[in-house]
Every structure is written in structure tokens, then in C-alpha cells.
Amino acid sequence: MTESSGRHLFTRHPANPILTADDVPYPANTAFNAGAARVGDETILLLRVEDLRGISFLQVARSADGVGDWRMDQQPLLAPDPAHPEEVWGCEDPRLVYLPEREEWAITYTAYSGRGPLVSLAMTKDFREVRRMGPVMPPDDKDAALFPRRFDGRWIMIHRPAPLHGPAHIWISYSPDLRHWGDHAVLLEAREGAWWDAGKIGLGPPPLATSEGWLMMYHGAHTTASGPIYRVGLALLDLEHPEIVLRRSDEWVMGPTTNYESVGDVDKVVFPNGWVLDEAADSLSLYYGAGDSVTGLAIARFSDLMEYVRRMPLYHHRRSGDSWG
């Protein structure tokens, strides 16, 4: 493999798109941007389903092999609740992380309303019942996931606030109790100019623990005359101090190429929110929204991916304080 071969790491499944609006048991426009989890002997996808008004729900689909024979619940797991005005325009783009200490799954999602998109947190033990914990980051903020454990007694969340001025970077924040968040800092910066990840980046699936560090996938939205192109790249975070970025890919490792990624409600988008690692099979399954319309699956050989990660350029942090400028 040459250093520039990152874009061949993921192979699209021949069954793609693996899920569409036609699989949803109620009238739906799109089924995309799913969080993913392996629970017992099932893969669970928590899809963003947009209805025919434009409002999004979070909908569970289950499959034994994570590829086909998906079974959908009759009702969404999370639908806008009048008691939560922050999500009257929809619940979007979930990321799923199991917290062993609490023996439950954390769902971070975008709650959308006239006040702008913000990060909300909900908990579930079984993907059948859910408990909302409410907003954890004010608007505009999206693309959030927790780490599965505490570090020095504190939980950590990655998220992406959108400032009024300047590029939208990926941030990291800390909490003693999952409710109160602080010590906010820039984690990974959007690049500038012609780069594929200039101007706006955001977390993809939740960070994945490996022996070499936390593997992080992120999307970059490259602006063109015909709108943005959403592609994804990789970064590696220190295992004990995830605020330290060790490496970052220069190139994207996946971008829209197929018809279902290139044409949709939004053209030219691959947007992964979930991945499932099968270490025994040396296989990483990446679930992604394609064209803001349907759901795709792409698979990487995990050892190849880690070999690529080891050869990614070292990341040079700016001097402390510069990241505020």
C-alpha cells in the first residue's frame, strides 16, 4: 500500500444502499445518518428518518449480520416531544456509545428547533425505552459523541460548535456528571483554502479504542461552486489524554463516488455516524448516510486501516492559546 492509498481502505458492500425510506414502516422521505451498535447477537442501527413534512425521527433497525434482513420497529425510538421544545423540528444524526460504568447506551443527537441545532443526550439500556437528559450543548452545535469511560474522574465529549465567524473546528469538553460541561477546547482544526477539510469539519462515528490510541473519523465539507462535498478522513488521539491529537490523515479516505452518494436530497455526501468492529474477523463495518437520503455500508480490513493510521502524518498542535485566534 502506498501512502496515497487511503481511499481504497473501505470497500462498499454490494448490497448498497442497505436501507432506504422504502424499508420504513410509515411514510418516509429518507433513512440515513445512522448510529450503530452491536448489542448481543444483533447489529442495531439508529437511523435518522425524515418524514414527509421534513421532520426527523430516530428509528431502530435490527439485523443479525449487520448487512441484510433488517427488522424495523413500528414506531421511532425518539420523535420530537412537545415537552422538549428544543427538538420540535427533529431529532437528527445520533451517535451511540456504551458506558460500562452505567450499563447503558448514551445517544448523542442533534435536536433541531427555531433556536438552532444543539446537542442533546438520551440514555437507553435496550433500544426499546429511552430516557432524555436534555440539551448538553447550546446552539449551534452538532456532531457529538461521548468517550465510553471517564478520564481522571471526568466524562469527555467531542462536538462541533459553529461560530458566527471563522472556521468550524472540532471541540472537546469535560463533565463530572454528563450534565455540566466545561474546560472547552479546540481538539482538531479545520484546514484552510483548497483542502478537502477546510472551513468546516465534524466528528463521524464515536472514537474507537485501539492499542495505539483512539481512532477518530471526521467529515470535511469542502465548498465548491455547486455546493459542499462531504468526505471523511482519520485522526488518532492519545489513549490516556484524548485531547492530544497524535496523527491526522492528509487525504480523505472516503468520498462520494457512487450514484447514491452523488445524487440525493443533498448531492455528494458521505456522512458516517456509526461503525462496528469485529476484531476476530479483522473487519470494521462503517455505516454512513449517502446523499442525505439512504444508508450505505463500507467495510475495511482493520489491520490495513491501522497500518495506514501508523503512517499518517504527525499532528502539530498550535501553541497553547493560538487555537482561540
Question: Measured from the CB of residue 129, what is the shortest distance to ligand BMA in angstroms?
Answer: 25
> Does residue 33 belong to the site contacting ligand BMA (CB under 6 A)?
yes
Single out the residue of 50, 51, 92, 197 in contact with ligand BMA (rule: CB under 6 A).
92
Single out the residue of 89, 147, 230, 287 in contact with ligand BMA (rule: CB under 6 A).
230
Residues 173/183, Cβ–Cβ less than 8 Å: yes
Single out the residue of 50, 51, 87, 93 in contact with ligand BMA (rule: CB under 6 A).
93
Q: Which is nearer to ligand BMA, 155 or 171 (CB)?
A: 171
Single out the residue of 34, 58, 144, 269 in contact with ligand BMA (rule: CB under 6 A).
269
**∠ Cα 85 89 91 (to 5°):** 90
Q: Which is nearer to ligand BMA, 286 or 312 (CB)?
A: 286
| Cβ burial, residue 199 (10 Å; 0-12/13-18/19+) | middle
Three-state SS string over the chain comes to CCHHHHHHCEEECCCCCCECHHHCCCCCCEEEEEEEEEECCEEEEEEEEECCCCCEEEEEEEECCCCCCCEECCCCCECCCCCCHHHCCEEEEEEEEEECCCCEEEEEEEEECCCCCEEEEEEECCCCCCEEEEEEECCCEEEEEECCCCECCEEEEEEEECCCCCCECEEEEEECCCCCCEEEEEEECCECCCCCCECEEEECCCCEEECCEEEEEEEEEEEECCEEEEEEEEEEECCCCCCCEEEECCCCCECCCCHHHHCCCCCCEEEEEEEEEECCCCEEEEEEEECCCEEEEEEEEHHHHHHHHHCCCECCCCCCCHHHC
> Does residue 266 belong to the site contacting ligand BMA (CB under 6 A)?
yes
The residue range among 58-66, 128-136, 185-193, 266-274 that interacts with ligand BMA, by the rule CB under 6 A, is: 266-274
**By rule CB under 6 A, what count of residues binds ligand BMA?**
9
107-136: contacts with ligand BMA (CB under 6 A): none
Cα Rg of the chain, angstroms: 18
Question: Measured from the CB of residue 237, what is the shortest distance to ligand BMA in angstroms?
Answer: 22
Single out the residue of 292, 294, 295, 300 in contact with ligand BMA (rule: CB under 6 A).
292
Q: Which is nearer to ligand BMA, 233 or 242 (CB)?
A: 233
143-202: contacts with ligand BMA (CB under 6 A): none
Q: Which is nearer to ligand BMA, 249 or 273 (CB)?
A: 273
Single out the residue of 17, 135, 139, 289 in contact with ligand BMA (rule: CB under 6 A).
289
> Does residue 275 belong to the site contacting ligand BMA (CB under 6 A)?
no
* x/- track of binding to ligand BMA for residues 44-83 (CB under 6 A): ----------------------------------------
The residue range among 97-105, 182-190, 251-259, 264-272 that interacts with ligand BMA, by the rule CB under 6 A, is: 264-272
Residues that bind ligand BMA (CB under 6 A): 33, 92-93, 230, 266, 269, 271, 289, 292
